[in-house]
A and B are shown apart, each in its own frame.
Chain A
Amino acid sequence: MTTAVTDTPMRRFEKVCEILDRFGRDAARLIPILQAVQEEYRYLPEEVLNFIATSLDLPPARVYGVATFYAHFTLEPKGKYVVRMCDGTACHVKASIPILDAIRQRLGLEGERKTTPDMLFTVETVSCLGACGLAPVMTINEDVHGQMTPASAVRVVEEILSKEQQ
């Protein structure tokens, strides 16, 4: 279950406390803690980072430093569907970028924008998903889609769009 981002701060910290307790409030387990928090909220809100720092008796800079170091962590909310286009070597030589462009165009994402205004889709690239045998590959949340073309990738996105509109 994902908690809505609009919850009151008190409710937020309740969940965070649960997670902190699950990991024994051990500062060495900061990364698994942040992973669990992000799974809950889909991102790492700033006040939650501060709360974690205080709870673990760490300087906020340390927590912020870890949160910004790893690609998996995000300080911005992400969409309900996270499309990750693989741009590993194998996918790259098999033309992954035109697929990415096609998806971004279909979703109206321009410039630096990665998330649609309705918070439905976030589109990003990833270095390698390790499914190179099926290049080019993209994942949408946990689902892996292999041997994509711009047309088939847009079709997958459109299927989700029409499902969401119902």
Chain B
Amino acid sequence: MATHTTVNLEQVAAEYRKAGERLRRRVVICAGTGCVASGALKVHEAFARAAAEGCLEVQLELRPHDDAGNGQAGPIDVGLSKSGCQGFCQMGPLVTVEPDGLLYVKVRPADVEEIVRETLMGNGVVERLLYVEPGKAHRCRGTGDIPFYTRQSRLVLAGCGALDPESIGQYIAAGGYFAARKAYTELSAQAVCEEVLHSGLRGRGGGGFPTGRKWELTRVQGGPKKYVICNGDEGDPGAFMDRSVMEGNPHSVIEGMMIAARAIGADEGYAYIRMEYPLAVRRFRKAVADAEALGLLGEDVFGTGQRFRLHVMEGAGAFVCGEETALMASIEGRRGMPMPKPPFPAQQGLWGKPTVINNVETLATVPLILAMGSAEYRAIGTASSPGTKTFALTGHVANTGLIEVPFGTTLREIVYNIGGGVTDATGEVTGEGFKAVQIGGPSGGCLTAEHLDLPLDFDSLRSVGAMVGSGGLVVMNQQTCMVQIAKFFMQFTQNESCGKCVLCREGTKQMLALLDDVAEGRADLGTLELLEKLAYAVQKGSLCGLGKTAPSPVLSTLRHFRAEIEAHVVQKRCPTGQCKALVSPEILADKCKGCTLCARKCPVGAISGTVKQAHTIDVDKCVKCGVCAAACKFDAIVGVG
């Protein structure tokens, strides 16, 4: 269906702003995957119900045309809406009340009646639902005084959380699609490429290649047919930035794709989204349909006579499809196996035509650059890596969630000030306990305490053997065994290797076997040497990024945690007690009271002893399950669990 009328952005924006002004209050409920899992939709329902019972007039979505026919132009008490991921996933479901600036955390449906009574009707605050920083007594009113938010610079994520991702009108009212219009109606294709090049924007998918240069290389290719692809196949375990952007602000990605299409002269685009993200797929599809309905996408973009059609394709579960040539093979309906480069996608991409393929976050950044100007954007971040980066902060950290900081921010700032510190096994924040941060997922490496003050950007990370990657930051405490972490990533890449290159297919398997030897006490120092040699061989002998970077976590672990690994190899001891084969449980005779509890709990009868006498463990029978240590009330059993 082609709409040939050109949408008047100013008019749409004005209508939505006017509709917004009629609202006395706005209640925004975070409906990202995290909060939905914590019950956000039930909270939403409860609000609609409770407000109706309290005789408040509620509008469930901004509808600018309501007052046209029925004459109800008066104020409305509450606008209730859902937003995309606000980032503070651990505290969900999150409920924001504006203009009061309140943020209620961990809201249950049962709390809603009180919020309606106290805040919406009584103009008060429900103190018990406010956020309290771990270890402090102060209750934070809203995002304005929660360090998790105040220490971030949310540019790309600004719309996620503020906007209703299913309302194109809200996006336009917030200035959306104006940058795309500028690109199509005021700038030449070359000027768009130059503006993005000047901004210094580098690809956020991991490689860090300058986006403007990629576009320029594609723009100068001849031929009438070109493609733009959005790579939403975010497969790194521990990363969910792109999911949040696609769920929380899909229009920003579509606008970025339109600008890319304008820059290179493409008339067709694909958004390839990971199938594990059903909500992102649904919201993106709706956003595309809404943009088509307004004529933003279609045969005649902004009345310029240029065509841009956008298709959404759901992936089918293959990590390697995050690699650009594999992703294109997948769109073409084939096995997602990478191809040698050159030819680069800019020369011969999808169906052999020149193609630009960008990451979700990169594309979502582009409209911001056009709106604020490349000079202003360049001033953010560091000289070699301008701008901001979103990170998924997870693992043993008090505030897990989605964050955005300028490049050049230190790890200490992220882990301690934004993240609220490192937690122990019970989830409590401890003063010490920081061991490492794993960055860049299965392609990345570890950062240790010595890197806490390193300003993070593309180049500084590469210099210490890690990489920004897509932006997963997994914090690990002292109880984490680095051999197990290296094994975990090796297992992952070994599973996900597409099998095309021998060194990647067989080499990762052998590396995993060697790591198993380390974890199970069969290794010697020669094993480590072999592991390292093989790691370099896999790097050299693999075609695509998956294989080239698969050994990185192992090499990084060998580099930063050599002593811990050597303890496994030389002393056959796992310092953290996580490698089951290496632990040897022991009962401390001076602590054992002879209560017999452990002997009764042991599933294999490995513990013996008489009442009120110290017990002993038969190590030959013991299966190291740790049941005894967990059961012992006197902490007399050590070395297991």
Contact = CB atoms under 8 A, between A and B. Distances in A.
A34 B492 CA distance: 25
Contacts of A127: 235, 237, 319, 492, 495-496
A57 B234 CA distance: 32
B33 A71 contact: no
Interface string B368-401: 0000000000000000000000001011100011
Interface string A60-99: 0010011001111100000000000001111011100000
A130 interface: yes
A133 B314 CA distance: 24
A88 B33 contact: no
Contacts of A131: 33-34, 37, 89, 240
Contacts, number: 140
Interface string B233-261: 01111111001000000000000000000
Interface string B522-533: 000000000000
Nearest to B495: A127
A65 B498 CA distance: 12
A45 interface: no
A32 B317 CA distance: 12
Interface in B128-187: none
Interface residues of B, number: 56
Given A66-B335, A127-B319, A130-B243, A146 B314 contact: no
B474 A90 contact: yes
Interface of B: 33-34, 36-38, 88-90, 92, 234-240, 243, 274-278, 313-319, 330-336, 392, 394-396, 400-402, 438, 441, 472, 474, 476, 480, 485, 488-489, 492, 495-496, 498
Interface of A: 27-32, 34-35, 62, 65-66, 69-73, 87-90, 92-94, 126-135, 137, 142-146
A133 B33 CA distance: 10
Contact of B316 (A62, A71, A87): A71
A88 B316 contact: no
A36 to B, nearest CB: 10
Contacts of A142: 278
Given A89-B394, A133-B89, A135-B400, A128 B276 contact: yes
A109 B528 CA distance: 36
Contact of A133 (B334, B335, B400): B400
Contacts of A128: 235-240, 276
B237 A31 contact: no
A32 B488 CA distance: 31
A123 B317 CA distance: 17
B333 A28 contact: yes
Given A89-B441, A89-B488, A142-B278, A132 B238 contact: yes
B317 A133 contact: no
B392 A132 contact: yes
A32 B631 CA distance: 52
B370 to A, nearest CB: 28
B472 A133 contact: no
Nearest to A28: B333
Q: Which 6 A-B pairs have the closest CB atoms?
A: A133-B89, A88-B237, A71-B317, A89-B238, A70-B316, A90-B394
A57 B383 CA distance: 54
Contacts of B332: 28
Nearest to A125: B495
8 contacts: A31-B316, A71-B316, A72-B315, A89-B474, A127-B237, A127-B319, A131-B33, A131-B240
B254 to A, nearest CB: 20
Given A69-B335, A128-B236, A144 B488 contact: no
B394 A70 contact: no
Contacts of A35: 275, 314, 316
Contacts of A93: 395-396, 474, 476, 480, 485
A70 B474 contact: no
B34 A134 contact: yes
B445 to A, nearest CB: 13
Contacts of B237: 87-90, 92, 127-128
Contacts of B496: 127
Contact of B33 (A27, A29, A130): A130
Contact of B336 (A27, A70, A137): A70
Contacts of A145: 37
Contacts of B480: 93
A32 B314 contact: yes
B83 to A, nearest CB: 15
Nearest to B441: A89
B33 A144 contact: yes
Contacts of B315: 70, 72
A128 B395 CA distance: 13
Candidate in A35, A72, A88 with the most chain B CB atoms within 10 angstroms? A88
A32 B333 CA distance: 8
Nearest to B242: A130
Contact of B234 (A28, A30, A70, A130): A130
A141 B480 CA distance: 31
